[in-house]
Amino acid sequence: MTNFPNPRSRFIPSFFVAVIVLTFISGSASAAWKAGAAKVDITPSEPIWLAGYGSRDRPVSDVLQRIYVKALALQDDSGRVSVLVTSDLLGFTAGLSKGVAERVEKKHGIARAGLAFNASHTHSAPVVGELLRPAYGLGPAHVAPIKRYTEKLEDQVVDVIDKAIGKLKPATLSYEQGLAGFAVNRRRAGRGTKHYPSPVDHDVPVLAVKDSAGKVTAVVFGYACHATVLSGYEISGDWPGWAQEGVESLYPGAVGLFVQGCGADANPLPRRTVELAKRYGATLADAVDQVVKGTMQKVEGNLRVALEHVPLPFQTPPTKEELQWRIKTETSESRKRHAEYILEKLDRDGKLATEYSYPLQVWQFGDDITFIVMAGEVVVDYSLRFKKTYGWNNTWVAGYSNDVFAYIPSERVLHEGGYEGGGAMIPYGQPRPFKAGVEEIIANKVDELVQRVNGQP
Ligand SMILES: [Zn+2]
């Protein structure tokens, strides 16, 4: 099932040796998976500010669709358990992921690398912690519900992981990709920017989980596109919410888990009506259904995991004088809030960050799927690059995972500039855009992790 050309071919001799040895010992090389999936409702119980747009001027007014955090626990042949968490949220913060991971490690003995936290990036879910704080004009009365929601959310994420682990039962896993076409490169859609290259990633990776009777119990599926059809004052999962609802109605009793990909520079277009959000959700659910009903590759072998942080350097941080000047002269409210936010940090810590400790994670499912899990809002170039490097058919690249703290531009996008290239550091409350060279730093670390998981037993 390895696709050529593929640099993993260098691992094949040892893989064959392992197959021969295992076949000799047990008569079969196939892994015995156990899987368990669960979901917990995270719809807020009080009015709260919704995440993602600086233009909103008041908290939520209604619930259009309930939102969830979901978990798929996987136990491989070696007995090791790993858990994928997905959510109808804008993003997990580093603090939330860390809080959950520490509690789960204590309770279940799962190391940090064995937990992956992904958010659908819906712009119709509550603000979590400090995420994008300078983007919003929040008063103290708005901050209190966010604090309460974030604290409760940590308990709910731990709870959904507990529930998924509690449901572990013998399972088979299979994988294949489909296609869906509603993501549009949004940098090209801007006024005067039609000259930008406009890559997109239309792949729909699907991992289907079946019980020993052959019944589908969970479907994990991905797509790379902003969840920004809607921009109003009602809670919903946006199109990923309706896609998951669609998958769950096609496979009654199964949990549908959506994984957001490298959709930082993609928007669902056209947009802004509930009808369109539902239509894109249905389109994706149909794409997933075609894959599940078609011929899928069986996923065998162990699940090997790795997670590491790599420092990404920012450009030279602003001085106190520059920040004070900006507070006095900025005409844009969000730029002014950014300067105040950064000055507060400078006064508190005595210095500003010159780099960000960036988490990268790789899960290798046997020889079948290389799952690259990236933090931040990752532009599509990374997904295309890693698929080209590690194999188009079995490389799955997730963005919006573990810590959403900034956009992650490729070298091309960083050079072109614009919102994804640097402008978004303002609403994210980071001191400056990244320095040139971040793409290579990231690609080198990903390569190191891919090689490491392939070298593991
Ligand atoms: Zn975004």
265 near 420, Cβ under 8 Å? yes
pLDDT of residue 86: 99
Pairing of strands 115-119, 81-87: parallel
Q: How many CB atoms lie within 10 A of CB 181?
A: 10
CA–CA gap between residue 231 and residue 273 (Å, rounded): 9
The three-class DSSP label of residue 379 is coil
215 pLDDT higher than 50: yes
At residue 457, the pLDDT reads 66
Q: Which amino acid is at 270?
A: P
- The per-residue pLDDT for 31 is 53
Residue 61 — very low, low, confident or very high, per pLDDT cuts 50/70/90?
A: confident
pLDDT exceeds 90 at position 438: yes
User: Which residues are within 5 Å of ligand 1 (an ion), measured at CB?
Assistant: 377
d(CA 120, CA 256): 13
pLDDT digits (tens, 9 = 90+) for 21-59: 433 333 334 459 999 999 999 999 999 999 999 999 999
How much is the pLDDT for 3? 41
Q: Which of 29, 38, 97, 113 is nearest to 72 (CA)?
A: 38
Q: Which residue from 168, 174, 182 is spatially nearest to 219, judged by alpha carbons?
A: 174
Q: Average pLDDT, stretch 378-398? A: 98
The pLDDT of residue 12 is 44
61 vs 445, more confident: 445
What gap in Å lies between CA 209 and CA 172, rounded to an integer? 6
131 C-alpha to ligand 1 centroid (Å): 11
Strand residues in 147-254 grouped as ranges (E): 169-179, 183-185, 203-211, 216-223, 234-235
Q: Count CB neighbours of 130 within 10 A.
A: 17
Interval between CA 377 and ligand 1 midpoint (Å): 6
Look up the pTM and report it. Answer: 0.93
Radius of gyration of the chain (CA): 22
Cis peptide before 457 (omega within 30 of 0): no
pLDDT of residue 230 exceeding 50, the answer is: yes
Between CA 364 and CA 264 the distance in angstroms is 24
Question: CB burial class (10 A; 0-12, 13-18, 19+) of residue 332?
Answer: exposed
Least confident of 18-22, 41-45, 191-195, 223-227: 18-22
Phi, psi of 73 (to 5 degrees): -95, 135
- The answer to whether 190 touches 418, Cβ cutoff 8 Å, is yes
Better-scored residue on pLDDT, 418 or 30: 418
Measured in degrees and rounded to the nearest 5, phi and psi for residue 52 equal 115, -25
5 HSE (CA, 13 A, CB side): 4
At 63-79, the pLDDT tens digits run: 999 999 999 999 999 99
pLDDT value, residue 236? 98
Distance of CA 455 to the CA centre of its chain: 25
Token code pair at residue 168: 């572990």
pLDDT at 196: 83
> What are the structure tokens assigned to 71, written together?
């978990």
Predicted local confidence at residue 198, as pLDDT: 87
* Closest by CA position to 134, among listed 327, 405, 341: 341
Q: Which of 223, 229, 233 is nearest to 125 (CA)?
A: 233
* One-character DSSP codes across 361-377: EEEEETTTEEEEEE-SE
Q: Is the per-residue pLDDT at 18 higher than 50?
A: no
Are the CB atoms for 257 and 72 separated by under 8 Å? yes
Mean pLDDT is lowest, of 2-16, 153-167, 170-184, for 2-16
* Tokens (6 digits) for 283: 């389109």
For residues 306-323, average pLDDT:
98
CA distance 266 to 228: 10
Q: State the distance from the centre of ligand 1 to the C-alpha of 128, rounded, in angstroms.
A: 14
Asked whether residue 20 carries a pLDDT value surpassing 80, the answer given is no
pLDDT surpassing 90 at residue 137: no
446 Cα: distance to centroid of ligand 1 (angstroms)? 23
User: What pLDDT sits at residue 24?
Assistant: 38
* Ligand 1 centroid, distance to 376 Cα (angstroms): 9
What is the average pLDDT score of the chain? 93
197-206 pLDDT, tens per residue? 889 999 999 9
CA 166 to centroid of ligand 1, rounded, Å: 34
The pLDDT value given to residue 4? 37
160 pLDDT above the threshold of 50: yes
**SS3 call for 177:** strand
Q: Domain ranges in the chain?
A: 33-306+360-422+433-455, 318-349
Percentage of residues in the chain having pLDDT higher than 70: 93
CA of 379 to the centre of ligand 1 (A): 10
Distances (CA, A) of 250 to 260, 278, 351: 21, 15, 54
CA of 126 to the centre of ligand 1 (A): 14
pLDDT (average), residues 173-199? 90
Centre of ligand 1 to C-alpha 41, Å, is 23
399 C-alpha to center of ligand 1: Å?
A: 11
Across 427-439, average pLDDT: 97
Distance 267 CA to ligand 1 centre (A): 9
Checking phi first, is residue 402 left (phi over 0); if not, alpha (psi -120 to 50) or beta? left
Rounded to the nearest angstrom, the distance between the alpha carbon of 227 and the centre of ligand 1 is: 8
Residue type, 426: I
pLDDT category of residue 219 using cuts at 50, 70 and 90: very high
Q: What percent of the chain has pLDDT over 90?
A: 88
